[in-house]
Amino acid sequence: MKTINIRGELLDLSQPLVMGITNVTPDSFYDKSRKQSETEIVEHTRQMIGEGAAIIDIGAQSSNPKSPLISAQEESERLRRVMPILSKEFPKTIFSIDTFYSEVGKMCVEEFGVSMINDISGGQMDENMFETVAQLKVPYILMHMKGTPQTMNKETNYKHLIQDIFFYFSKKIEALKLLGVNDILIDPGFGFSKTLNQNYELMAQLRNFHIFELPLLVGISRKSMIYNFLETTPQESLNATTALNMYALQNGATILRVHDVKEAVETINLFRKLQLSIPCT
């Protein structure tokens, strides 16, 4: 699938795009992505758009296993504080809402014109999510995770990692299509319900996700699979993030979800230059 429908207009995915991250939370694992004041949020969003982000992903609940689960009501309250400002300041921007609550997604789409729903739970934490997405007629990012953000680090047992993940996606995609959801993107869920070694096994098998013929989102920005392996910190993980993002592009990634937009855009530009420089045979 080379396009997705965004508010009645087709977004071209024939070339990779960047999704920039804004966390409206006090407890994201990467401290520089946490934005609390309205001014900070607006300026951070403006910077990412200026650097070339095609999509801005807004999250009001941390997926850090050490963070407590907040209610849909609290998540909505956080978003109601910032979304009116963002939608007014950047009316042409494609916003995605990072939530596993169907009512939060519905609110953001209907009240603030959010264009996409990004659900880390793949519909598992809210049984109404798939039907809500179908009713809203917005693109849906389907991620692989077992358990919840609070339990996922204990949910790493697989009979066969890649086959199990493929089976998960096959079932979920079928359910979504039966409901009439036309625009589905898949996210393998790096860092969610996977050990360090499993994350790299998954990355090494990334090219095989082409069998789904759906846009592939990769989010490895400054994650523990990088800094734990290299024995550094999230703050020191930009260079390694860039290296893995290039590998992901070479193996079929359609969207890079990142904290550092400028560097990701440069990586895509270099990737495209390399693709154009391959001699025809």
Residues shown for the chain: 281
Q: Any residues with CB less than 8 A from the CB of 153 and at least 6 apart, and which?
A: 65, 193
| Contact assessment for residue 222 and residue 263, using Cβ atoms and an 8 Å cutoff | no
The CA distances from residue 199 to 85, 165, 192, 270, in Å, are: 37, 12, 9, 25
Catalytic (active site) residue 257: yes
Catalytic (active site) residue 177: no
Q: Which of 146, 223, 262, 273 is catalytic?
A: 223
Q: Any residues with CB less than 8 A from the CB of 25 and at least 6 apart, and which?
A: 34, 59, 60, 61, 62, 67, 78
Q: Which of 46, 257, 262, 272 is catalytic?
A: 257
209: left (phi over 0), alpha (psi -120 to 50) or beta: alpha
| Contact assessment for residue 215 and residue 254, using Cβ atoms and an 8 Å cutoff | yes
> Residue 97 CA to chain centroid, in angstroms?
9
Dihedral sign of CA atoms 257, 263, 266, 272 in order: negative
Q: How far apart are CA 99 and CA 97, in angstroms?
A: 6
Amino acid in the structure at residue 217 = L
Active site residues: 223, 257
